[in-house]
Amino acid sequence: MNAKQKLGNPIFIIAIVLLILNDWYLKQTYSNGFTGKLSDFAGLFAFPFLLSALLPRHAVKLYFFTAVLFTVWKLPIIQPLIDALNYIGLPFHRTVDYTDYTALLILPVSWYVFDRSGSYPLKPVLLNGLVVAAAFAFVATAQVSGKTTTFNHINKTYVFNCSKRELISRFNMVETRNVDEINKYGGNVDFDNKTGTFHYHGKTDTLATLIDFEKVKNLDTIYLKTTNAQIGFFWR
């Protein structure tokens, strides 16, 4: 049996879909503890599954390698490496949260599914598409997930030595000033009380968003998306 055909396993495909959906939508929309852990569980299920399908003779070693890699990835000692990658323009981020190690429990499940999986006769173009989608998901989850406060804007990273409450207060003040300037010159700005979002010319154009500190005070990562930029706050 061609081990690569195991990539057609519906559970593997669901894990990849969840990883992409969570990193590109759910985290930005909900930003809670569940979305924070979902990527770890989905990623740890899919990553060794993919490698083992491509290199079946080393499957057991690859599962152990994944466990070690994830453990090290969450340790503070690799922060200099991440800082260096960001410095040269490769935006990698991660949160140092030891409760994330609970996601390692998914590895035996992944191994069981891989080991017992049958062959799914997909066309080569579909199999290669799955490999590309999975690779994209793994890279993206490392780039969109890092208590110094960091503010990312236009592919740049800024570090602020202030509390989370103070930074959020400053950010909200800047957002309010920008909206006030637009209103001053006759701009048509609407405010959505439920989401704390300012819209320009209808809800399709997001101008600014105010952050409710009480809703995010226990989060390590916050994402905001406006018409012109995507902004990420990371605490470590």
How confident is the model over 39-62, as pLDDT tens digits? 999 999 999 999 999 999 999 999
Asked if 128 and 174 sit in the same domain, the reply is no
Q: How far apart are the first and last CA of the chain?
A: 46
Whether the predicted pLDDT of 81 surpasses 70? yes
Give the distance from CA 92 to its chain's centroid.
Answer: 10
**Which residue, of 115, 143, 171, is where some domain finishes?**
143
Asked if 87 and 173 sit in the same domain, the reply is no
Q: What average pLDDT does this structure show over 140-157?
A: 54
Asked if 128 and 157 sit in the same domain, the reply is no
**Which residue, of 143, 171, 191, is where some domain finishes?**
143
Among candidates 95, 79, 85, which has minimal Cα distance to 31? 95
Asked if 132 and 162 sit in the same domain, the reply is no
Q: What average pLDDT does this structure show over 128-136?
A: 92
Entry pTM: 0.61
Asked if 215 and 107 sit in the same domain, the reply is no
- pLDDT class of 89 with cuts at 50, 70, 90: low
What rounded mean pLDDT belongs to the chain?
80
Asked if 51 and 161 sit in the same domain, the reply is no
Asked if 138 and 28 sit in the same domain, the reply is yes
Query: Can you give the pLDDT at residue 60?
Result: 96
Which residue pairs, CB below 8 angstroms and at least 24 apart, start in 101-108? 101/70, 101/71, 101/74, 102/37, 103/37, 103/40, 103/41, 103/43, 103/44, 103/70, 104/44, 104/67, 104/70, 104/71, 106/41, 106/44, 106/45, 107/44, 107/45, 107/48, 107/63, 107/66, 107/67
Asked if 15 and 58 sit in the same domain, the reply is yes
**Which residue, of 122, 143, 164, is where some domain finishes?**
143
Query: Can you give the pLDDT at residue 25?
Result: 85
* Domain encompassing residue 68: 3-143
Query: Can you give the pLDDT at residue 36?
Result: 79
Q: What average pLDDT does this structure show over 74-101?
A: 77
Whether the predicted pLDDT of 87 surpasses 90? no
Among candidates 108, 120, 122, 136, which has minimal Cα distance to 49? 108
Whether the predicted pLDDT of 154 surpasses 60? no
Over the stretch 173-232, which tens digit does the pLDDT of each residue have?
777 776 666 565 555 667 766 666 776 655 556 667 778 888 877 877 777 665 556 677
Higher-confidence residue: 31 or 56?
56
For the chain, how many structural domains are there in total? Answer: 2
Q: Half-sphere exposure of 59 toward its Cβ, with a 13 Å CA cutoff?
A: 20
Asked if 179 and 122 sit in the same domain, the reply is no
